Structure 1
Amino acid sequence: MTRIGFIGPGTMGRPMVANLVAAGHQVRCHARSAGARERVASTGASVVATTAEAVEGAEVVITMVPAGPDVLEIVTGSDGFLPVLPAGTLLIDCSTIAPEEARQVHAAAAGRGVRCLDAPVSGGEAGAVEGTLSIMVGGAAEDVAAAREVLGAMGSTVVHVGGPGAGQVVKSANQIVVAGNLQVLAEAMVFLRAHGADLEAALDVLGGGLAGSTALTRKRTALLTEQYSPGFRVALHDKDLGIITAAARAAGVALPVTALLAQLLAALVARGDGDLDHSALAKLAAELNRPA
């Protein structure tokens, strides 16, 4: 049993907490909203009122919050918890943030003798519920080894991808691939509907060939029903593509298709669809092809 402080038990974080509890770990959680606190209480984790209470006595602290500024605020901000962590505590940030922000967290943690990993996850809400997340981990090899049991309770694929910030670099690449996959699936659905194809049969055969993907499997129902209940919100994927656009510019590389994907996601947010699942790229594609 490991004593874990978990901050940010939202859509993804709550099932991650549930799997940590099911694996026998003692988890103490803090969430900003009353709704999130109420939902995570059903996992068997302890729910506390502040981040300081969540991390008190913890051997491992996990953060899973929406964006880089949130991570920096709760870890290194004026009321951040980093100063109260004893040396040797393992801090694992599972949020998706900019690589440079992750390196800032690593540097601040190292300055206090706290071990740190950036360990963003992929797999959506379904993967979080099933405990089959893919976790890409940046940091020191010995710290990754120390975290494997905890990370293994949340994900079935845990890979050390490099030093500080490397997990976030790989997560950015993941988000490019996912967005691209969803957009081409969206366009394929427009094409299939335009020709009156049997959609169920078409997706069966596409899924069985080279066009098959986890995105197709996970988002099949949404694509067929055109109902986009959030598993991973458009607004978060839009935020991720913003990170990627800035990081690509900083690296001096051109990613023209990624730039288009960023604009499509931004368009969904601008039109008020930011709280839909990111498979709602299919909604935008369909509406672009409907008469005014």
Structure 2
Amino acid sequence: MARKIGFIGLGIMGSHMAANLVRAGYDVSGYDVVPASVEKLLQAGGKPAPTIAEAVAGAEVVITMLPDSPQVAEVVLGAGGVLESAPAGLLLIDMSSIAPETSLEVARVGAEHGVQVLDAPVSGGEQGAIKASLSIMVGGEADVFETARPIFEDLGRTIVHVGGHGAGQTVKAANQLMVAGIISLVSEAIVLLEASGVDGERGLEVLAGGLAGNRILDLKASTMLGREFAPGFRIDLHHKDMGIALSAARAAGVALPVTGLVAQLVSAARAMGHGSLDHSALLKVVEELSGRNT
């Protein structure tokens, strides 16, 4: 398997993912528009790349971890981007969460340049990135997926090839609508418990042990009860993902009524100025609607 990796996008998730690849023995060159993020990679043992072209130079694999479709299009397809510098035979793994149609376009143009492409968005948040326990949903050719599997195994625990190009992004959209919906319901449970005079911690403890148990309760119950919303995954990004889910539903010709309602709650959180907070700050929206501001 390739040993030299260019990593573009060293944010909350990407910085930890790149560091894990360094620890796994890969030669990682990283680029980010924020100099402090590149410095973190240097401290982890990686190499700073002052430009995208220098991150790509000599790499056998390039990984992108970017906020949204426009950034992926610019970084991969634009002037000075990955494909402009990529040698034939490069493997490009886009691990961003973006629109499926953008992944299809990247794969199409990549093929014209002799570049193999996988879309491989992740779930698990910052802690999953830190612990290399991410869930990775991969779209693209099956044989290319198998080539990349050793890299994925250094980043996550649940790694599944879900279909052709763009399929990874569709599965990620489904993941995000479920996560936002569950956070909304956990928020409603907390508001109901506390408004009724029930100890929230004890109430959620017993809920977590029954059929209502879920990963949101496992990972976020204590911080939600403590109203601690330091971002592991920002409301702003989840708002983007809910838009992707609704667009995918429209393209597939299906109705997702609960997703539409939850998307409005996420939108409300942004309108209230909570976009930079963790997505568990949906609790603040439910409290506002209930007249229970904290």
Q: Say whether the fold is shared (TM-score over 0.5).
A: yes
Q: State the SS of the aligned residue for 1:116.
A: strand
Partner of 1:20: 21
What is the identity, as a one-letter code, of the residue corresponding to 1:216?
L
What is the identity, as a one-letter code, of the residue corresponding to 1:283?
K
Unaligned runs of 5+ in 2: none
> Structure 1 runs of 4+ off > 4 angstroms?
none
Partner of 1:57: 58
Structure 2 residue 261 is the aligned partner of structure 1 residue 274 = no
How many residue pairs align between the two structures? 292
Q: Given the two structures, how large is their TM-score scaled by the length of structure 1? A: 0.97
What does the per-residue CA deviation read over 1:165-221, in whole Å, with 9 as the maximum and x for residues that have no partner?
A: 000000000001101100000000000101111222212111111111111111112
What does the per-residue CA deviation read over 1:29-66, in whole Å, with 9 as the maximum and x for residues that have no partner?
A: 00101222222322211111101000110011000000
Partner of 2:215: 214
Distance 1:181 1:40 in 2: 34
What is the identity, as a one-letter code, of the residue corresponding to 1:12?
M
Distance 2:251 2:201 in 1: 43
Partner of 2:119: 118
After TM superposition, the structure 1 = structure 2 runs for residues 24-43 of structure 1, keeping only pairs within 5 Å, are 24-43=25-44
After TM superposition, the structure 1 = structure 2 runs for residues 130-145 of structure 1, keeping only pairs within 5 Å, are 130-145=131-146
Partner of 1:173: 174
C-alpha RMSD over aligned residues? 1.2
Unaligned runs of 5+ in 1: none
| Offset of residue 83 of structure 1 | 2.4
Partner of 1:199: 200
Distance 1:202 1:270 in 2: 30
Structure 2 residue 150 is the aligned partner of structure 1 residue 149 = yes
Distance 1:81 1:89 in 2: 10
Q: Given the two structures, how large is their TM-score scaled by the length of structure 2? A: 0.97
Partner of 2:237: 236
Comparing 223-232 with 249-258, greater Cα deviation is found at: 249-258
| Offset of residue 291 of structure 1 | 6.0
Comparing 40-49 with 94-103, greater Cα deviation is found at: 40-49
